[in-house]
Chains A and B, each alone.
Chain A
Amino acid sequence: MNGIAEPRLERAALASSAYRIRRFALRMGEVQGQGYIGQALGMADVLAVAYRHALRYRAEDPKWEGRDRFLLSHGHYAIAFYAALIEAGIVPEQELETYGCDDSRLPMSGMATYTPGMEMSGGSLGQGLVIAVGMALGLRQKNNPAFVYNCMSDGELDEGSTWEAALSAAHFGLSNLICLVDINNQQADGQSTKVLGFEPIADKWAAFGWFVQRVNGNDMDALVDAFDAAREHAAAQPRVILLDTKMGKGVPFLEAREKNHFMQVAAPEWQQAIAILDASHNEPEKA
């Protein structure tokens, strides 16, 4: 599939895509009885817009030279990303049953060496953006018009390497680099803003020389507009979309759960969550 070649999907179709991504993630969570499900539900809308609206790729050829590169810097978001890869047709749906199991191509933390469509081995946080700088430089050197998307968490704003890369991307005028920052205000030891305050974060990126947008990461219209604007922005500068997302989005009892980096979900709750998701969506699917 080539996302660009397809007619622009309607908002309803994108909502259905986000619904399926959430559902795939919940099914994987049930396989292991765990997973970063709060983040996955929070990022589902962003990933739906990325893979169903913005990115150029060919599902049958994940290494296609013309593809837009999508880096998952926070490798622990793998559950969300695998769901997106399934939605994109890059990973077969039945493989979600192997999530986190021995010999699976879908390990708990994302690694390029395991999974088709996974561009980097993430998990050691603060590495995606420096890699993205190198890839963007390389694409420019090859006159390849593809974009590099680096998807990272707000916790990674703590890492010095993020700011080395931010300085560098602006220095090189990397207009083919789009950074997506998931701001769910939750990292391992608590609220990101309390662990190491980063606000006013839009001002910081702007001061570093980036084209900055800050949007509600669970608002489909805002996301589509932000991705479009990031790609179409004329100035020779890198682009960042700051995404305020809600952990557990789409499953009210998980949205209301005490905020925790690694959300605890009891065994029967996975199916309850799927049922709630199905009920709130008008095209329920069979598990």
Chain B
Amino acid sequence: MSATLTARPRLTTSAMIASIAAEGQRTRPAPFGHALAELADRRPDIVGMTADLGKYTDLHIFAKAHPDRYFQMGMAEQLLMGAAGGLAKEGFVPFATTYAVFASRRAYDFVHQVIAEENLNVKIVCALPGLTTGYGPSHQATEDIAIFRGVPNLTIVDPCDAVEIEQAVPAIAAHCGPVYMRLLRGQVPVVLDEYGYKFELGKAKLLRDGRDVVIVSSGFMTMRALEVANLLGADGVDVGVLHVPTIKPLDEEAIVREASRSGRLFVVAENHSTVGGLGEAIAGTLLRAGVAPAFRQIALPDAFLDAGALPTLHDKYGISAAAMTTSIKSWLQ
């Protein structure tokens, strides 16, 4: 046992500072915090609020740039959402940050009743979406999208990388109404610049075309999908990637268009439980449109997930590039 432990480097949980960036990957620090601080230079109505997670949602960058517009609400998520609603009623555009688990589970009724029912202009920006921490179910927001998809008026955004976060911040601020955005924080990978990408709220973007498989994905799973496309491409499998950063409202036109091309495996890849996320949203869309491709879902299981190191967990639950490649190969046989 001890021989095994010394022979291999031990992967550690490092949850509070975990980055999903692979070793050697290009990254940018705190893209959300910098983008919001910059936006606030131009827009005096922007305010930042957090529930004792400023440093852990990159809002500390904004706080330093605009201390007069930063509200530390303490570890009180119901207050955070309610007070954000109050500030929105007074004409401000609050960006309220916490972890996705706390916004969706603990403060749900305040998001629903205070913010969404009155269509208030609150932007809820949450770190640790899906499986982006090894802390276990207390911190893993594996069903946040399922919870929030049912809320009328609420727009849901799941950005892929630093490039997209930087573009999404002014875009969601310009949108009139409540938004829930999943956040990647800290050293965030830079991927989409290579694709000439431009974020548009409510629009899916075909990042690459492919004859054999199309992967439809959101969040950092799009980064994984692009890796998978390269890996499978080396084996002669031509993979397309449709990135769907806005989960609600869904770009049904683009999804139905891609699903209508015959002879392709149609794979939805999401950093979320199989229940109620992008996969089921798309499945419903396709059924209603009468389109029935060979549909497969790469998603987290409907279970309380393990604690541990992220690479280990991503492999175990099938959302690492290697695990995804194996799954897709098996479906192609």
Contacts and interface: CB of A to CB of B under 8 A. Distances in A.
A167 B76 CA distance: 10
Interface string B76-97: 1011011111111111101000
Interface in B111-148: 113-114, 117-118
Contacts of B69: 141
B86 A127 contact: no
B233 interface: no
B284 interface: no
Do most interface residues of chain A lie in helix, strand or loop, or is the interface mixed?
helix
Contacts of A265: none
Interface string A100-130: 0000000000011100000111011011011
Interface string A120-147: 1101101101111111111101101000
Interface string A12-56: 000000000000000000000000000000000000000000000
Contacts of A131: 82-83, 85-86, 89, 114
Contacts of B73: 168
Interface stretch (A76-84, A157-165, A191-199, A252-260): A157-165
A138 B118 contact: no
Given A138-B90, A138-B91, A133 B82 contact: yes
Contact of B89 (A119, A123, A171): A119
A228 B333 CA distance: 80
A137 B83 CA distance: 8
Contacts of A135: 86-87, 89-90
Contacts of B109: 124, 127
Nearest to A148: B86
Contacts of B114: 120-121, 127, 130-131
B117 A127 contact: no
B71 interface: yes
A197 to B, nearest CB: 22
Do most interface residues of chain B lie in helix, strand or loop, or is the interface mixed?
helix
B110 interface: yes
Contacts of B47: 141
B297 to A, nearest CB: 34
Interface residues of A, number: 31
B86 A136 contact: yes
B92 A164 contact: no
B150 interface: no
Interface string B39-79: 00000000100000000000000000000010101101011
B92 to A, nearest CB: 6
- Find the residue from B74, B82, B84, B86 having the highest chain A CB count within 10 A: B86
A131 B84 CA distance: 7
B109 to A, nearest CB: 6
Contacts of B113: 121, 123-124, 127
A161 B117 contact: no
Contacts of B117: 111, 113, 121
Contact of A168 (B81, B83, B87): B83
Interface of B: 47, 69, 71, 73-74, 76, 78-79, 81-92, 94, 109-110, 113-114, 117-118
17 contacts: A112-B118, A113-B117, A121-B117, A121-B118, A127-B109, A127-B110, A131-B82, A132-B86, A133-B79, A134-B86, A134-B88, A135-B87, A136-B86, A138-B87, A138-B91, A161-B82, A168-B73
Interface of A: 111-113, 119-121, 123-124, 126-127, 129-139, 141-142, 144, 160-161, 164-165, 167-168, 171
Kindly list the 10 A-B residue pairs having the minimum CB-CB distance in the complex, ordered from nearest.
A134-B86, A130-B82, A138-B90, A134-B83, A164-B76, A135-B86, A164-B79, A161-B78, A131-B86, A134-B87
